[in-house]
Structure 1
Amino acid sequence: MLSVGDKFPQFNVKATVSTDLKNAFVDINNDTYKGKWLVVFFYPKDFTFVCPTEITGFAKHNQAFLDRDAQLLTGSTDSEFVHHAWRTHHKDLNGLPFPMLADIKRELTSALGILDKEAGVAQRATFIVDPTGIIRFVYVTDLSVGRNPEEVLRVLDALQTDELCPCNWHQGEEVIKVA
């Protein structure tokens, strides 16, 4: 699995961005959000139980991520059409404010090393990528355990200080100053 300090791999995937079929699908690659922080979180499958709780959890914090010049991207190994159907039929995903990546060839999940060996789907993995394309944070949980979007936001805040941040540090608190 790629880790902190590694370059986020090159990718070019279809993404679902709307329930309106006229403009529901776009291509997204490394240059789409060039110069921004990326928070890329993968989940195992559409039409499941834990996954929508995480996606809506991140959606509730979307503006906070945007305020920090960070773009949220979510994705799985499902197709853009399955993403579209899920967004259309799941009331909490109708107005999702960020793209859903469709890694149906499993190229990105394989390059990241997060393709679950037994289930053949994306692991529940989160990457914070800095504006130069370097992975600065990785968070992976068991397929059955959801993530905490507030913790991902807290870590993004800490990384953006470019300072030493103590345990449980939050934006606005003192950082560690080495004498």
Structure 2
Amino acid sequence: MGVINSEIKPFNATAFKQGEFVDISEADVKGKWAIFFFYPADFTFVCPTELGDVADHYEELQKMDVEVFSVSTDTHFTHKAWHDSSETIGKINYYMVGDQTGTITNNFGVMREGQGLADRATFLIDPDGVIQAMEITAEGIGRDATELMRKVKAAQYVRKHPGEVCPAKWQEGEETLAPSLDLVGKI
């Protein structure tokens, strides 16, 4: 699955966002950082904990010029019903994308064969529409928005500082590396 450094593919969908149904496409992603946060289904168990965790960090992500698109193969109507009936989901202000045709889920290669459900997957897209990071976990393993935030900061740092890389566990403000012949075998 060679998706890193590939451009996102065209799509059209309807999302639920802040009480409204809005049409979106890949054009709405370009020009800013974006997170595509795939999950299997609304009204489930691990999914609301993850979506709520991202909602708790959404304001900070917005300050970093990052938009969030949660995606499942449920409809935008189902997203609204879940938003209206769950305290956890009710705090979401980002896009909840209905992908009932599976176009977006298939574009990212995370459709569960024969199930019509998305894998638990996260993709970080740069302002050029290019995938810079991805994470896919098994059904029972929830993701952590704090770690996602760290990855966003690292990707943004590397984009702004060509020739530098962020080592393992890098946190904003910490030292980075400048790969060179001098570093070979010294790390």
Superposition TM-score tier, normalisation by shorter sequence: over 0.9
* Partner Cα distance (1:124, 1:26) in 2: 24
The equivalent of 1:56 in structure 2 is 52
Q: Which runs of 5+ in 1 are unaligned?
A: none
The equivalent of 1:7 in structure 2 is 7
SS of equivalent residue, structure 2 residue 87? coil
Letter aligned with residue 16 of structure 1: F
CA deviations on 1:81-124 (whole Å, 9 max, x unpaired) are: 11110000001122311010000000111111100115320000
Provide TM-score, normalisation by structure 2: 0.89
Paired residues of 1:2 and 1:113 also in contact (CA < 8 A): no
CA deviations on 1:131-172 (whole Å, 9 max, x unpaired) are: 001000010001221111111110111111113111100111
% identical equivalent positions: 36
How do 1:50-89 residues align onto structure 2 when only pairs under 5 Å count?
50-89=46-85
How do 1:1-179 residues align onto structure 2 when only pairs under 5 Å count?
1=1, 3-19=3-19, 24-162=20-158, 163-178=164-179
Give the structure with the higher percent helix: 2
* Greater than 3 Å deviation, 4+ residue runs: none
Letter aligned with residue 41 of structure 2: K
Letter aligned with residue 33 of structure 2: W
Q: C-alpha displacement at 1:178, in angstroms?
A: 3.9
| 1:33/1:120 CA distance change after superposition, 3 Å | closer
* Partner Cα distance (1:156, 1:95) in 2: 22
SS of equivalent residue, structure 2 residue 30? coil
CA RMSD of aligned residues (A): 1.3
Q: C-alpha displacement at 1:2, in angstroms?
A: 5.2
